[in-house]
Amino acid sequence: MIAPPAGTRIWIAAGVTDMRRGFDGLAALVQTQLEADPFSGQIFAFRGRRGDRIKLLWWDGDGLCLFCKRLEQGRFVWPQATSGGGR
């Protein structure tokens, strides 16, 4: 099991994100939209348009980790962005 250290902050990118993005595309969103460092050890969460998928980006000290989850039923509840976001 991979677990982040205690006290790790989790950022939620409000709104929807293009789920075709991978490591580099999501890291770029963290830098440009969230104005944060993707290599800080914090976790960055992104949600797809349909709401059934999320991706988590995390630097574990050795490299970037990209975790994905797709729900078979239901949707992830997510805050809506009024400006900016991960589009």
Q: Which residues contact 10 (CB under 8 A, 6 or more apart)?
A: 42, 43, 44, 45
Domain boundaries, the chain: 10-70
pTM for this prediction: 0.85
Amino acid at 75: R
What is the predicted pLDDT for the residue at 81? 66
Residue ranges of the chain whose pLDDT lies below 50 = 86-87
